[in-house]
C-alpha cells in the first residue's frame, strides 16, 4: 500500500509538472508571437529597427564564436559611424540655422542702406534739377553747365546700392573631408587593412 501511494504521488507530480510545462510553452509562444509582431512593426516603420537587428546569417548564437563576435563588432562600429554622421548632420543644420539668421539680419540691414542710398540719390537729383533751373534762370548755357555739373547717377560711388549676398544653402549628402589629420589626401588605393 505504501508503494502504491508513493507511485500515485509521483504520477500526480509528473502530470502536474507536465501541465505546467505545457502552460509555459503556450505562454512563451504567445509572448514570442507578440514580440515578433512588435519587432516587425518597428522594422517596417523605421530605419532604426532595421539597424538594430544583427543578421547572424545562420551563425551560432554563442558570443564565444569568432565569426558571430566579428559580426557584432562590425554592427557596433556601423552604429557608431551612423551616430557620428547623425550628430554631424545635426551640427551642420544648427550651423545653417545660425548662418541663415545672420544672413537675414545682414540682408535687412543691406536693404535699409540701399533705400537710404536711393533716397540720397533722389535728393541729389532734385538738388541738381534746382541748380539747373537756377542756371537756366541766370541765362547760362545749359550744355556747358551740364558738362561742368553732371547729373547724379545711381551707379555713382555715393549712391550705388550694395550687391546682394547669396543666401546660405544647407549642404545635403554625406560629404566627408578628403584630407586626413595630417592634411594629406585620402586615397583608397594606398590604404590597406593591417592584420
pLDDT tens, position by position, 48-62: 544 455 655 555 555
19-36: buried (b, 16+ CB within 10 Å) or exposed (e) per residue? eeeeeeeeeeeeeeeeee
Q: Does the model's pTM come out above 0.85?
A: no
Q: Report the pLDDT value the prediction gives residue 177, as an integer from 0 to 100.
A: 42
Q: Report the pLDDT value the prediction gives residue 166, as an integer from 0 to 100.
A: 86
Q: Pick 44 or 27 by higher pLDDT.
A: 27
The domain locations on the chain are 67-173
Percent of the chain exceeding pLDDT 70 equals 78
Cell of 158: 555715393
Find where cell 530605419 sits: 47
pLDDT level of residue 7 (50, 70, 90 thresholds): very high
d(CA 92, CA 175): 11
Amino acid at each position: 500500500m505504501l508503494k502504491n501511494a508513493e507511485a500515485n504521488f509521483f504520477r500526480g507530480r509528473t502530470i502536474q509538472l507536465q501541465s505546467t510545462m505545457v502552460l509555459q510553452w503556450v505562454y512563451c509562444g504567445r509572448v514570442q508571437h507578440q514580440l515578433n509582431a512588435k519587432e516587425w512593426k518597428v522594422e517596417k516603420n523605421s530605419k532604426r529597427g532595421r539597424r538594430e537587428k544583427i543578421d547572424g546569417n545562420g551563425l551560432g548564437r554563442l558570443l564565444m564564436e569568432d565569426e558571430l563576435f566579428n559580426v557584432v563588432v562590425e554592427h557596433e562600429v556601423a552604429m557608431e559611424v551612423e551616430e557620428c554622421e547623425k550628430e554631424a548632420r545635426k551640427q551642420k543644420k544648427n550651423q545653417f540655422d545660425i548662418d541663415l539668421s545672420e544672413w537675414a539680419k545682414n540682408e535687412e540691414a543691406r536693404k535699409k542702406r540701399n533705400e537710404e542710398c536711393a533716397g540720397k540719390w533722389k535728393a541729389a537729383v532734385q538738388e541738381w534739377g534746382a541748380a539747373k533751373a537756377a542756371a537756366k534762370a541766370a541765362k547760362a548755357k545749359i550744355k556747358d553747365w551740364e558738362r561742368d555739373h553732371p547729373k547724379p547717377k545711381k551707379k555713382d560711388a555715393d549712391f550705388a546700392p550694395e550687391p546682394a549676398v547669396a543666401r546660405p544653402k544647407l549642404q545635403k549628402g554625406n560629404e566627408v573631408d578628403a584630407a586626413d589629420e595630417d592634411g594629406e589626401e585620402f586615397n583608397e588605393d594606398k590604404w590597406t587593412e593591417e592584420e
